[in-house]
Chain A
Amino acid sequence: MNLGVIRAIVRKDLVALTRDQFYLFITIIGLLAFVAMYWFLPSSVDETVRLGVYHSDLDTALGPLTAIETDALAIERYDSPDALAVAVGEGEAGIVAGMVFPDDFVAQAGSGTATVDLLVPAGLPPEYAELMNGLAAQVGYFVSGTTPPVDVTTRTVVLGTDRVGDQVSMQEQMLPLLAFFVLMMETFALASLVSVEVQLRTVTAVLVTPARARDFITAKGVIGTLLALAEVLLLLALIRGFVGDVPVLLVALLLGSVLVTGIGLLAGASGKDFMGVLFLSMTLMIPLMIPAFGALFPGTAATWIRALPTYGLVEAIVGVTTRGESWSDLSGVLLLLAAWGLAIFALGSAVLRRRVATI
């Protein structure tokens, strides 16, 4: 390995990239768009359930409701059944359901039975509607001043991390996806850089000097990994994403950068022109985006998703930034990511070496 040659090729590639207006445009616009998208998303989760209620004599009949209002349950009073229906139907002000009390509700309750109209939006899951029924009954008890015969008190035991008051926000859910998008952008850039060298045969001119194919490939690996890592770190800096165990996060991003660099080498060596490189890069990257999309939907990932090379990257980012995990929790996925990263880098290098040898 000739370090002087590798350094010269890396420096030359940096010059080439800084003069590539298309690359600069895509990179800057992409980064700005991702940062803007991140800050546009809500940074916290509203855990309060908002229930709308109507009664013709609100203050008198529904006065007792104030007693059951907590941080978790808010009661919003409406002036008419129609206004309440519109609010529920359109999810206005976060109203999840509405209760329309009849004018003679208190009298009905005194007789032992009372009917309340429960308004729920179309498409509300049945179990959620059932929950609303129970809630409505509780509200009914308070309004009528009649308590159930037995007052059961529950104690909540949370198995796993208790996220009450600290729900995973949309920003946190999007972080792995945004990081992945940035890495993917860099894959295109590297693939394009490699492809141009092969198509214009500048690599042939390089390889009749003391530079060896391994020097050339190493230089491409270095530039690809450095650029991918630099851009994803810049993104994290701009969105204040350095939270939790930062060294674990850095290692995960470094391994992720190696992985996408391998894909860039593979696509760049295999594509016959710019469109071919773009098509190949997309074909390779789309399945690899699935774990990042999966992070948007909490729950255990399916086995086949766990088998994808980028699962370890996404799991490590989510683990550090959302669950506050560290080395001991994430060593398994980091090892998996390292194995995938090295395997794909080796494959990309082998394909590029073969391509260079057959020009």
Chain B
Amino acid sequence: MAATVPAIDVSDISYSYGDTLAVDSVSFEVAAGEIFGLLGPNGAGKSTTVKMLTGQLRPSQGSIHILGMDSSVENTEIQARIGVCFEEKNLYSAMTGVENLKFFASLFGIKPLDPMPLLERVDLAARGGDKVSDYSKGMRQRLMMARALVNQPDVLFLDEPTDGLDPVSARTIQGIIREEAAGGTAVLLTTHDMYEADTLADRVAFINQGQILAMDAPESLKLQHGQRSVRIKARRADGQVEELAIPLDGVDAAAKVQRAMAELDLVTIHTEEATLEDVFVAYAGRGLDA
């Protein structure tokens, strides 16, 4: 019975900043072990939604259940079992990495904490004794990730966890996200990086102007709303290279591809599918960076 309870169950929540409706009747569920991506441009309502889920804001309507607990009643109990990684690097910069982890562990009542396993996971074992003020942006982000894990959370909220990071740091964090999900932790990831969401998330929801526009597995969304094609570059008789695309969803697609391969002097040939960005534009009428 308990296994069927979603790790995150959001029902019809809304929130306004004054007269501005930031989140408008949003509902979704995230299962244990699932990576759920909340995608949208800046100002779409992602951060406000996460603030409500992590207990920083109280929704003006609707209900939130985390691990089966009502957030309006059992917020403290919920916060003991979640981990949050913020977009801003809100670490204590005068303290070392080890001291930051130990301090946050003590807020969860975890004493003593051995910080080394966590620091090793985020490749900071050698720098744990250094002050955070001496850390690079990537190192700070990795320490933020370690901090979110000090209480071995059942639900992880990650707000733009790889934004602006170098590829090595980004890969480290993405690896940890996959490991946590594999271990049964529900992960809610907010990002405007469609590639990251596509490669990491089991399901995604597009959010724009406070409303969820679509929600499904990335592959399904692309299949439903995108167009597959074969893109060919071929050399003409005059030496110029021309480019053409053959849609794969047409009835005679295979015949067209065969004919092109037989008749043209091919330079390159690639299959192409719609990106999540294309799907988002189809729904929202705008790009993620708009």
Contacts and interface: CB of A to CB of B under 8 A. Distances in A.
Q: Is chain A's interface secondary structure helix, strand, loop, or mixed overall?
A: helix
Contact of A209 (B86, B99, B104): B104
Contact of A202 (B55, B79, B92): B92
B84 interface: yes
A209 B79 contact: yes
Interface in A109-138: none
A72 B55 CA distance: 75
Contacts of B109: 4, 210
Measured as residues with beta carbon below 8 angstroms from the partner, the interface class of chain B is 20 to 34
Contact of B84 (A9, A15, A200, A208): A208
B103 A8 contact: yes
A207 B56 CA distance: 8
B84 A8 contact: no
Contacts of B94: 15-16, 19-20
Nearest to B147: A205
A12 B103 contact: yes
Contacts of B84: 205, 208
B104 A15 contact: no
B244 to A, nearest CB: 52
A102 to B, nearest CB: 78
A330 interface: no
B82 A210 contact: no
Contacts of B79: 208-210
B107 interface: yes
A210 B108 contact: yes
B91 interface: yes
Nearest to A8: B106
B200 interface: no
A204 interface: yes
Contact of A211 (B82, B91, B95, B107): B107
Given A208-B54, A208-B56, A209-B79, A16 B90 contact: no
A200 B107 contact: no
Contacts of B95: 12, 15-16, 19
Interface in A146-165: none
A209 B108 contact: yes
Interface string B54-85: 11100000000000000000001001101010
Interface in B142-156: 147, 151
B107 A209 contact: yes
A15 B109 CA distance: 19
Contacts of A204: 56, 86, 90
A278 interface: no
A212 interface: yes
A208 B82 contact: yes
B179 interface: no
Interface in B90-117: 90-95, 99, 103-104, 106-109
A101 B151 CA distance: 94
Contact of B104 (A4, A16, A205): A205
Contacts of A5: 106-107
B90 A201 contact: yes
B161 to A, nearest CB: 14
A205 B86 contact: yes
Interface in A12-40: 12, 15-16, 19-20
Contacts of B56: 204, 207-208
Nearest to B85: A205
A316 B27 CA distance: 61
B134 interface: no
Given A4-B106, A205-B104, A210 B92 contact: no
Contacts of A210: 76, 79-80, 107-109
A12 B92 contact: yes
A206 interface: yes
By Cβ-Cβ distance, the 5 closest A-B pairs, closest first, are A8-B106, A209-B107, A201-B90, A208-B84, A19-B94
21 contacts: A4-B106, A5-B106, A8-B103, A8-B107, A9-B107, A12-B99, A12-B103, A200-B88, A200-B93, A202-B90, A202-B91, A202-B92, A204-B86, A208-B54, A208-B79, A209-B80, A209-B104, A210-B76, A210-B107, A210-B109, A212-B76
Interface of A: 4-5, 8-9, 12, 15-16, 19-20, 200-202, 204-212
